[in-house]
Structure 1
Amino acid sequence: MPTPIDWYNGNPLTHRDRRLARSPSAWARSFACEDLKPLIVCRGPIRKEAMDVFEEMGITHYGILLSEKDSIVYANALAPELRQLSDTRRVHRVPDYTGASKEERVERMHQIVQIAKDNGYDSVFAGYGFMAEDGEFVATVEQAGLTFIGPNSSVQDRAGKKDEAKRTALEVGVSVTPGVNNVAARALLKKFDTRKKLQLVDEAREFHIDPKILEEAPLEELAEHVLAGSYAKGMDLFSIDELGAEVQHEVTEMFRKYPGSRIRLKAIGGGGGKGQRILGAKLLGARSPDDQLIEEAASEAPALVREVLSEVKATGVGDNKNVLIELNIEQTRHNEIQLLGNGRWCVSLGGRDCSLQMHEQKLLEVSVTQEGLAASIAAAEEAGRAEEARALRTDLDILKRMEEDAARFGEAVGLDSASTFECIVDRDRYYFMEVNTRIQVEHRVTELCYGLEFENPDDPSDRFVVESLVEAMALLARHGERLPKPRRLPRFRASVEARLNATDASLSPHAGGLIRHWSPPIEGEIRDDQGISLPNPDTGLFMRYKVAGAYDSNLALLLTTGDDRLASYRHLSHVMGRMKVRGVNLATNLEFHYGLVNWFIGQNVLAKPTTRFVVPYLTLAGRLKEEGNKVDLGFAFAELKKHYAKEVAAAAGGDAAVARAMAEVLDRKATLLLRPMERLLDDPHLLSGWLSLNRKLYQLQDGRILWLRNPLGVLHDTYQYLNMAYDPEKPASEVIWHHDHELLQKSLRFYAALRGTFGLERTEFYKLNDILKSETPQGGYDADTWQQIRAAHLGYEAGNELLGMLFMIAEKVRFYEFRVEEDLEVTIPSHLSDPELQARMKKVLVPPPATKADEIVAACGGMYYGQEAPGKPPFVHEGMHFQKGQPLYIVEVMKMFNTMRAPFSGRVDKVLMQGADGTVVQKGQPLFKITPDEKFVHRDPKEIERERRTTTTEHLRGVLMTLDEKFSEVDPMEVEHARRGRSGRLKAVPR
């Protein structure tokens, strides 16, 4: 395998020159791109990456488009890339990137083209923004004589529109998801149901459809041609309400055809989760639902159609409003194949598993390569894990088929740049889903695994290598037809990417926070963060950055590599554990990712989670938080001290002095034990990862905990896991205290020597415990040394049982029932899929904003809308009664339209946001004055405290049962030795 590359802020620190113009090969020099003059019309990490790659390629005349939307709404939200691009003549401002309406969108397209022409740019790069797969925008660029760095407009139409892509897939023999691809044509046929009527529409509207098609084409095909004519002329032939009615009819039929399933609606444009909705939750799992239930589920379709079209801005007159209706395959993994082509050839560059997602937004993406799978199969077979090897062989077979089909599809549509072939994987089958005709957010996952080697067809020894997909896109835009088909060059066997987003602990968008500190990247870290971590070029200091909410929630992309997936996961854990992001009103998913990555490390990183994984996992985290909130650690420690004092005094014949000495021993360990436990109980995501990592270090026997590993070793690793290991350069509030560190290290050296004496493994602590119960010297030690050893053992282990309370919490919430099986399938306990439990746990993870009993406040910040769409009636009005679950308003935050529903029933007394559609609201801002149907009852704080102590005592019971066995007889001198810390310098005795 190649040597890992050092990366800093996403930029390679190697001396390899991307400038082909400097190559000693005349053939390679002929592919130089220094004369390319691109205008970058996207935002986010890809804009900064494009700037870096273009500069490395020697491209000096490039510029960026800068939306005013963020910086006007939020101060300090100006693009951090400007710290690098100081030439203001190369920064071009527009109100926003795409406009809020069709008219604004068209205006923006022509404005961008004019900016390019006025400033000498010859090409446009749109990254992975939605303009990158907008066929109309690409066509506008091409018609202006500019080059689009990405798939051309023809490819955008054939592959980018989801309905056309599915038709092409069927033509080239690729399996597709069952459903309806032409509901718009069917809606048209409801109005014009004969060939004659469609011919009259063509004649009246002057669409000029080919006479042969008018006379001979099948009716649905003719309807498609009529629709194409209406799009070209900017006309509507049916209303959105009529389309919604047809969708409702088709959905009803699909519910009957596929009982117990849900249905997905997808706009033919969009991507990144935009323009998609799922309906039929109440039918999920129902084998024979009655007609009333089916009709009730299908009745949601018209409203969802309008939401879908609104999100992709396809509600204007003449917009293509077709919507895909697909069977929602529940137990699925989301896999995708990276494609690259020049119009004649097409190559696949391995796969990525993007199943870990929520609200159709990807969170964690991992590489899937033939080389990596083959190595994992060999390792599993060598270790005797037959079921794991069998499951991985299935994945390898599917990957090969997907890569072959993807390349065939790319050639069929004449792919001439980078695109992604997206699939649903269901056990040993896969279904084609869609093609993203752009570079993906997660493209680096692929380029870290494969480079591209281009070879001179006239001289096999003459070649050059490209390791960046952005560079490959620029090469294709400048020299596409001349480029020979490349060979993919393996780099790393595994890579993984985590999307650091501005979301809260429940993964809901959280815009508007101010980043005041962000730790710099560490060695080996790959971070794409738009340049947020770039310091002020004049002062060298970190610059504050406001997380604006006008676009998406992504702050950074964190990537790591490794020789296998486990190594890449461990590296990512190391990076995230040392990352510090602080600010005001700031929330990120860093802790979620850290916990999730370590959950997989503790289970099996080769697991096959489905797209249903994240919400139940979050629900389980909520259960941990809910149970953890009921634990009073201070009370638990006090009860433990009482129990120790009682047991020690009883074993020493009622000696009160001995009990006091034992209490002193415990007091010295209070902060050592309680600080990491408090941190874990405070954050359920951290606790989830910790529980998974330590799941094999204890056993529960008859309600009591049996430690297989010394809890002091677990405690040491816990400080490491929480990034609280001793560091004299860090503030004491962030790391283990010095005296606790010394105590912990001394104890670990002590037990390491004992293990050496008795030839024990780390996970055989229970055996060492049994040996140390003997009053008779063991292991060759003399009597005095043996007494000191037992005394040291008593002191070092005193109170460590408290750590076991975390396992008792896990057992209470059935944490370990959520697990990875030997065949790599993930078992999700059914109770975690209960919608009511999921909604309740979401509120546990992020409590709703404080509110008065007579008002409803904004659940999150964003753009407020009081109606479903322009022209539609408001959701509520003054004086009306509303039911629990009824829509009250919509908040648009970070691209997504979120329908907010009533948390209870009541009456609207006053609408505080009357006529305020399109305005920004803050989390907790009052929206409605209401009278609830039921009065809220505030709980007595004393009752809450009693409940906490009862729960704490319950979890402590298993700990105290373990403790009871420790004190059959105690020598007061041993307790006194423990109090004084007299253990001597212990060395292992040779066996």
Structure 2
Amino acid sequence: MAKQTDFYTHNPLIHKDRRLSQSTSAWVRSFSCEALRPLIVCRGPIRKEAMDVYDEMGIHGYGILLSEKDSIVYPNALSPELRKLTDNRRVHRVPDYTGASREERLERIGQIIQIALDNGYDSLFAGYGFMAEDDEFVAAIEKAGLRFIGPCSATQRGAGKKDEAKRTALTVKVSVTPGVDNVTARTLVAKHPSREALLALVTAEGLRCDSRLLADESLSLEQLADHILMASYDKGIDLFSIEELGRQVEAECAAMFRSHPGSRIRLKAIGGGGGKGQRILGASLLGKKSPTDADVAKAAAAAPGLVLEVLNEVKAVGVGDNKNVLIELNIEQTRHNEIQLLGNGQWCIALGGRDCSLQMHEQKLLEISVTQEALALEIEKARAAGQCEAAAALETDLQVLKRMEEESERFGQAVGLDSASTFECIVDRDRHYFMEVNTRIQVEHRVTELVYRLRFTNPDDPQDFFEVESLVEAMALLALHKERLPRPERLPRFGAAAEARLNATDCSLSPSAGGVIRYWSRPIEGEIRDDQGISMLNPDTGLFMRYRVAGAYDSNIALLLTKGDDRRASYEHLAKVLRCTTLRGTDLATNLDFHYGLVNWFLGNTVMAKPTTRFVVPYLTLVGCLKEEAAKIDPVVAFVTLKKHYTQRYAADPEAKKAIAAVLDRKGTLLTRPMQKLLDNPHLLAGWLSLNRKNFRHDNGKLVWLRNPLVVLAETYAYLNMEWRAGVPAAEIIWSHDNELLQKAIAFYARLREHFSLGAADFEELNALLTQDTPQGGYNAADWAAIQSAHLGFEAGNELLGLLFLIAERTRFFDFHVEPNLEVVIPDELNDADLQARMKKVLVPPPATKADEIVTPGGGMYYAQEAPGMPTFVREGDHFEKGQPLFILEVMKMFNKVLAPFSGTIDKILIEGGDGVIVSKGQPIFKVTPDERFVESDPLAIEKERRETTAAYLQAIL
């Protein structure tokens, strides 16, 4: 038998052998893949992972395909994998992976296949990009006699297109979201409303249709129209206009609004994914149980414009493109769960689930494993702790997971799944709805790899087996040995896993491309970092090589993964990874701090909480509120004022006054340095407040510490990665004299707790003892006086930390919480769109600009119009209103409409080069005349207000 080693338990950049050819078993050796010669036609972390896994499997004849678009758009944004793969004969280039239009896409498919044939590759691996689920691409690969390392074209057609997948799901009794999956067919029927008219259309356009289907009068008009549309795609013609499609979608939306009052509707392009090609409409109707006809008409009227947006985003606006759009009821309070599937065409196995609810703009941010074994363990723990509501909620999750896994396997077999895919669902408490199938490996596939491994056993000898821990490896095995592979057994590995997507986004999670990474700290023990090789050091100098974050594709820089015995352990390890990660660069923005704050929010509440897909935006809004309030406080001013307060308190005792002043002088930087860092970074403050939410209480407006504030202070230094470490620059850690004082204080209280037989959580009781005039615990009067004096000195000034809790109180931070049944409570005001927009600007203030200019909010590609051939949003001389679209900024494949921040008139368009030109953050686009005159803020007035607010805050804690 052959058992593969676990290459995840240490640094993933150190590889281990997983060659089946080295086994002593002839049956195991027969599954060797060393003869495979794949061309890797994807990018990002999955390309580097595939290279590593293939090396470990003994597959050394692979090549990689690079898109020149990255380096054209952002000069020198070259693939870091080239530091490893130095054989130029195995590195190939194309202008772009997919092209900008249908014609370019077909041209690119031909180029890629020809590269494979010309260079002796026998297969293609497309990772988790859009090419991985392009059935035309896969069909062309198969026609050329090559293997596709992924689902075959038949599976891609049956499962990869959202409309076909939904129809298949219905036939195998899979729960689906209510809605319309054939609006293009309905559009065609609306235009040609009889069988005769549709058949005449076939003749007039010369379409090649199946004559048996055309003659089958049992087919409905919509089914017949679907068949005719497929023939039109093959011929590359359109049978209706986008405007006609938009009108049909508008009518369907109006009907759905009437049949589901109070709900919103989601539009999804069938070729979308990763958050692209989706829009939601009907916000004005949300919660309205009896909307008027005028309300419905107004909400539905937005549909045509949104249809154009989603089609444009997935590049399906060309002649002959399949323009079908799913119209689905938007399930409001949902969690996004998905099931990992693997199959060989005959068998299909589910490998547990992943909760991907923590997302924004439909793009996932934090993903965690969900398995039957882990949920059963958490149910036991909740019951043992007397948490009945939590146990019941987790039991519901377990039952839903079992149903999703059962349905996913039925679906996989129905479509003949012969590789890795993902069955995606939305979960609403005890119900779930099938959403779509991603016929490719997912970005978060390693979350599943960490909790399950696969054992393939010889049917003739149960002692003869091999194990696979990588889905990339499993896909290669399936590509080469598909029919021979027996159905594997899934075996638990680690109890839980988590993945944070480190993205090039700013503090508000808006894409931020073009920055340069100049330093990245080394992975810590147990950290799994998939970073495309960016943090690989120069093999000649041992130095970090700078890397420019490109913006032509997606915003992901790396995937950071951790594992643990249970979910809390995986979260704690992830928090440590994030805390110890240092990224430095030029114009570099990432979501590292966001993740650190978020992970600690869950650690401070409960990691078993059930956030919905609507969690992140109100959470960011709350973090914005923290920043706005924190900006009003100056910790240095607060400390100086506090010192004056103490000296006034002891004014009658010169010796005591002198002593307390000396003590406070020593504690100034000890207290204010970490406070300033928390006040400056609202994401860090959000995580810190969550972790310390049980360390204090308010009694009649007075803050009472339930744990020693000095212990909390020591933990704060650790939380900020500022604890004392020899050899680390002083700017990055606690200063040595502050550390000496802090450690002396902690040791003092540890001795007292031991003397009084008190636990660490009994600070309130210890503090009460130390205020007694009569000596306690057998101490004599002199020793007791010395202890009280030391206590006064160690605790003096610690009130300052209480300012942070007052910020939480003023912003109602703790109202955003988790109920005993694990549901997350989001205060209503945080869902207010105006507040969300305002807090987004608080988190990331707009670029500095002149009053008569409008500038780009970030870098990316500029477009003046909605789609090719359409009029520009504005022209010179036009008057625009606040909130009106002015231009589109494409950043990392996301199309962002930039809205007017105020009303005014376009005097001059400053951009040169037309659509697709690259712009940088803060670049002037228009010269304008505002309708109203802007009044600049007075810095002195702002500083005065800050001092007054700080003083007011201090009054509440003194």
Flag whether TM exceeds 0.5 (same fold): yes
> Deviation of residue 661 (structure 1)?
3.0
Q: Deviations over 1:48-81 (max 9, x none)?
A: 0000001111111100001111112323311000
Give 1:129's aligned residue: 129
- Whole-Å Cα distance in 1 between the matches of residues 683 and 171 of structure 2? 46
State the AA in 2 paired with 1:388: A
Q: May I ask how many residue pairs the two structures share in their alignment?
A: 953
Give 1:894's aligned residue: 892
Q: Indicate the SS of the match to 1:582.
A: strand
- Whole-Å Cα distance in 2 between the matches of residues 835 and 757 of structure 1? 56
- Whole-Å Cα distance in 1 between the matches of residues 248 and 233 of structure 2? 19
- Whole-Å Cα distance in 2 between the matches of residues 224 and 719 of structure 1? 63
- Whole-Å Cα distance in 2 between the matches of residues 545 and 76 of structure 1? 8
Give 1:20's aligned residue: 20
- Whole-Å Cα distance in 1 between the matches of residues 385 and 371 of structure 2? 21
Give 1:563's aligned residue: 565
Q: Deviations over 1:430-472 (max 9, x none)?
A: 0000000000000000011101100111111111101100000
Q: Deviations over 1:228-268 (max 9, x none)?
A: 11111111100111111111111111112212211111010
Give 2:550's aligned residue: 548
State the AA in 2 paired with 1:222: L
- Whole-Å Cα distance in 2 between the matches of residues 692 and 806 of structure 1? 11
State the AA in 2 paired with 1:398: V
- Whole-Å Cα distance in 2 between the matches of residues 210 and 528 of structure 1? 48
Kindly indicate whether residue 825 of structure 2 is the aligned counterpart of residue 823 of structure 1: no
Kindly indicate whether residue 782 of structure 2 is the aligned counterpart of residue 780 of structure 1: no
- Whole-Å Cα distance in 2 between the matches of residues 253 and 578 of structure 1? 53
- Whole-Å Cα distance in 1 between the matches of residues 655 and 781 of structure 2? 24
Q: Indicate the SS of the match to 2:490.
A: strand
1:227 equivalent among 226, 229, 234: 229
Give 2:454's aligned residue: 452
Give 2:475's aligned residue: 473
2:759 equivalent among 761, 772, 780: 761
Q: Is the 8 A contact 1:418 1:469 kept in 2?
A: yes
Q: Is the 8 A contact 1:125 1:148 kept in 2?
A: yes
Q: Indicate the SS of the match to 1:699.
A: strand
Give 2:258's aligned residue: 256
Q: Is the 8 A contact 1:9 1:528 kept in 2?
A: no
- Whole-Å Cα distance in 2 between the matches of residues 101 and 120 of structure 1? 29
> Deviation of residue 283 (structure 1)?
1.7
Give 1:360's aligned residue: 362
- Whole-Å Cα distance in 2 between the matches of residues 190 and 428 of structure 1? 39
2:302 equivalent among 300, 315, 336: 300
Kindly indicate whether residue 594 of structure 2 is the aligned counterpart of residue 592 of structure 1: yes
Task: Go from structure 1 to structure 2 and tell me whether the alpha carbon gap of 1:915 and 1:250 turns closer, same or farther (over 3 Å shift).
Answer: farther
Give 1:696's aligned residue: 694
State the AA in 1 paired with 2:75: A
- Whole-Å Cα distance in 2 between the matches of residues 567 and 114 of structure 1? 48
Give 1:752's aligned residue: 750
* TM score, norm. by length of structure 2: 0.98
Structure 2 matches for 1:497-576, cutoff 5 A? 497-576=499-578
State the AA in 2 paired with 1:552: D
State the AA in 1 paired with 2:898: M
Q: Is the 8 A contact 1:9 1:529 kept in 2?
A: no
How many percent identity over aligned positions?
69
Task: Go from structure 1 to structure 2 and tell me whether the alpha carbon gap of 1:571 and 1:5 turns closer, same or farther (over 3 Å shift).
Answer: farther
> Deviation of residue 872 (structure 1)?
0.7
Q: Which moved more, 1:411-420 or 1:536-545?
A: 536-545
State the AA in 1 paired with 2:751: A
Structure 2 matches for 1:258-337, cutoff 5 A? 258-337=260-339
Q: Which moved more, 1:656-665 or 1:19-28?
A: 656-665
Q: Indicate the SS of the match to 2:85.
A: coil
> Deviation of residue 575 (structure 1)?
0.9
Give 1:413's aligned residue: 415
Give 2:854's aligned residue: 856
State the AA in 2 paired with 1:768: L
- Whole-Å Cα distance in 2 between the matches of residues 97 and 538 of structure 1? 32
- Whole-Å Cα distance in 2 between the matches of residues 856 and 206 of structure 1? 51
State the AA in 1 paired with 2:332: E
Give 1:978's aligned residue: none
Q: Indicate the SS of the match to 1:222.
A: helix
State the AA in 2 paired with 1:276: Q
Task: Go from structure 1 to structure 2 and tell me whether the alpha carbon gap of 1:12 and 1:257 turns closer, same or farther (over 3 Å shift).
Answer: farther
Q: Which moved more, 1:658-667 or 1:573-582?
A: 658-667
Structure 2 matches for 1:896-935, cutoff 5 A? 896-913=894-911, 916-935=914-933
* TM score, norm. by length of structure 1: 0.95
Give 2:792's aligned residue: 794
Kindly indicate whether residue 827 of structure 2 is the aligned counterpart of residue 840 of structure 1: no
Q: Is the 8 A contact 1:28 1:463 kept in 2?
A: yes
Q: Deviations over 1:54-109 (max 9, x none)?
A: 11111111000011111123233110000110101000011111111111111110
Where does the alignment leave 5 or more consecutive residues of structure 1 unmatched? 961-991
- Whole-Å Cα distance in 2 between the matches of residues 846 and 474 of structure 1? 44
State the AA in 2 paired with 1:908: I
- Whole-Å Cα distance in 2 between the matches of residues 9 and 117 of structure 1? 36
Q: Deviations over 1:514-543 (max 9, x none)?
A: 111000111111000000011112222110
> Deviation of residue 205 (structure 1)?
2.5
State the AA in 1 paired with 2:893: K
Q: Deviations over 1:712-747 (max 9, x none)?
A: 000000000000000121000000000000000000
Give 1:140's aligned residue: 140
Q: Indicate the SS of the match to 1:776.
A: coil
- Whole-Å Cα distance in 2 between the matches of residues 560 and 481 of structure 1? 34
Q: Is the 8 A contact 1:8 1:521 kept in 2?
A: no
State the AA in 2 paired with 1:571: H
> Deviation of residue 915 (structure 1)?
5.5
Q: Deviations over 1:202-231 (max 9, x none)?
A: 222333433443241111111111111111
- Whole-Å Cα distance in 1 between the matches of residues 515 and 542 of structure 2? 23
> Deviation of residue 943 (structure 1)?
2.1
Where does the alignment leave 5 or more consecutive residues of structure 2 unmatched? none
Q: Is the 8 A contact 1:5 1:524 kept in 2?
A: no
Give 2:76's aligned residue: 76
Kindly indicate whether residue 619 of structure 2 is the aligned counterpart of residue 620 of structure 1: no
Q: Which moved more, 1:318-327 or 1:199-208?
A: 199-208
1:439 equivalent among 435, 438, 441: 441
Give 2:194's aligned residue: 194
Structure 2 matches for 1:76-225, cutoff 5 A? 76-215=76-215, 216=217, 217-225=219-227
- Whole-Å Cα distance in 2 between the matches of residues 519 and 661 of structure 1? 43
Q: Is the 8 A contact 1:6 1:523 kept in 2?
A: no
State the AA in 1 paired with 2:873: F
Q: Is the 8 A contact 1:10 1:49 kept in 2?
A: no
Give 1:63's aligned residue: 63
Q: Is the 8 A contact 1:337 1:351 kept in 2?
A: yes
Give 1:46's aligned residue: 46
State the AA in 1 paired with 2:396: T
> Deviation of residue 141 (structure 1)?
0.7
- Whole-Å Cα distance in 2 between the matches of residues 743 and 379 of structure 1? 40
2:957 equivalent among 931, 956, 959: 959
- Whole-Å Cα distance in 2 between the matches of residues 526 and 878 of structure 1? 52
State the AA in 2 paired with 1:80: P
Give 1:716's aligned residue: 714
- Whole-Å Cα distance in 1 between the matches of residues 827 and 324 of structure 2? 38
Give 2:35's aligned residue: 35
Q: Is the 8 A contact 2:6 2:469 kept in 1?
A: no
Give 1:879's aligned residue: 877
1:950 equivalent among 948, 951, 955: 948
Structure 2 matches for 1:961-976, cutoff 5 A? none
State the AA in 2 paired with 1:881: H
Q: Indicate the SS of the match to 1:762.
A: coil
- Whole-Å Cα distance in 1 between the matches of residues 294 and 56 of structure 2? 63
State the AA in 2 paired with 1:495: A
- Whole-Å Cα distance in 2 between the matches of residues 923 and 327 of structure 1? 37
Give 1:609's aligned residue: 611
RMSD: 1.3
